A = this chain, B = another copy of it.
């Protein structure tokens, strides 16, 4: 029974990876770098993007993944950048993550020729979004200090799969029992040497570093694509 389930999951992930590669090819052809931004519900992804996407050195767009509604997309529209909504609701409560095929269905709605960077704000969830590639160049996550020090140990795949872990809501540190050293120790146990960034999307403290990181990823992937094309 377990082996049958493992086979089904493997097949589903294989199929997803095939579509993810097709997405990535389309993004590459259009010179668009894609960042898959993940977190638990309420960790502050949208507030961080509201702060960071203004004044970015590259032309950015957002693909907004939600079970239902367009609350975050509406907030980001105020930035006057292209924002596309993708809902996962299938009538049963909705899918808890974006997968490559969902992103593929949204491709015709994305103004790929007008942007250099696409940030995909995934559904708030620390489990399944980490399992499904969508054709991204980089995965990053936001973890709020209100969530506790144990989260890297409880959701290891999510913390392991990201190249950047943003630690948000540091303005609340003095009001919490959160032990930052212990969190970083736990994080290092599941993803040794991963880049981290401490910031408060609410106050703006530390957001410059995230904005620079986004711009840097776009330049890095663009250079890599040019090198590959010239080779």
Q: Which residues of A contact B (CB under 8 A)?
A: 2, 5-6, 9-10, 13, 40-42, 66-69, 71, 90-96, 123-128, 130-131, 144, 146-148, 150-151, 153-158, 169, 171-172, 175-177, 202
CA of A163 to CA of B157, assembled, Å: 32
CA of A90 to CA of B48, assembled, Å: 33
Q: Which residues of B contact A9 (CB under 8 A)?
A: 90, 92
Assess the A41–B155 pair: CB atoms within 8 A.
yes
Q: How far is the CB of A189 from chain B (nearest CB, A)?
A: 11
Q: Which residues of B contact A124 (CB under 8 A)?
A: 40, 126, 154-155
Q: Which 5 A-B pairs have the closest CB atoms?
A: A42-B147, A96-B127, A93-B157, A146-B146, A40-B41
CA of A221 to CA of B71, assembled, Å: 39
Q: Which residues of B contact A131 (CB under 8 A)?
A: 92-93
Partner of A69, one of B10, B40, B94, B154: B154
Q: Which residues of B contact A5 (CB under 8 A)?
A: 90
Name the residue of chain B whose CB is nearest to the CB of A169: B146
Since A42-B144, A96-B128 are in contact, a sample of 20 more A-B pairs with Cβ atoms closer than 8 Å, ordered by chain A residue number, is: A6-B91, A40-B40, A40-B42, A41-B154, A42-B147, A66-B154, A67-B154, A67-B156, A68-B153, A69-B153, A71-B150, A92-B131, A93-B130, A124-B155, A125-B125, A125-B126, A171-B175, A172-B172, A172-B175, A177-B202
